[in-house]
Amino acid sequence: MTVAGIITAIVIGAIVGMLGRLVLPGRQSIGVLLTIGVGIVAALLGTALAQSVGVATTDGIDWIELVFQVGLAAVGVGIVAGVRGGRTRSGRY
């Protein structure tokens, strides 16, 4: 993977991760880097899912692929926020 590919993955991951957080109701207690990581994984899985369904290569913007990516990001952010369970930096509950 080239440097441009890595930068593109980070940017797309950040956008997809933030959109995934916007879809979820309430407040998620995860950081920006974790959101970007979830977004990158969701973008890759969403693209693979769209390719397996056969909707990844359309003319213009691939809206169905984007819906898959954002939906997977919302699920991923929800899982990560649930696993973290509202922990604080100080370690107190």
Q: Is the pLDDT at 88 greater than 60, yes or no?
A: no
Segments in 24-62 forming alpha helices (H):
32-53
Q: Is residue 27 part of a domain?
A: yes
pLDDT in tens, 55-66: 877 777 788 888
What percent of the chain has pLDDT above 90? 14
- List Cβ neighbours of 30 (8 Å cut-off, separation of 6 or more): 38, 77, 80, 81, 84
> Is residue 9 assigned to a domain?
yes
What does pTM read for this prediction?
A: 0.79
Q: Could you give the number of structural domains in the chain? A: 1
Mean pLDDT score, 42-56: 86
Q: Which domain holds residue 73?
A: 3-86
* 61 within a domain of the structure (yes/no): yes
Which tokens sit at 50?
């769209």
Residue 48 covered by a domain? yes
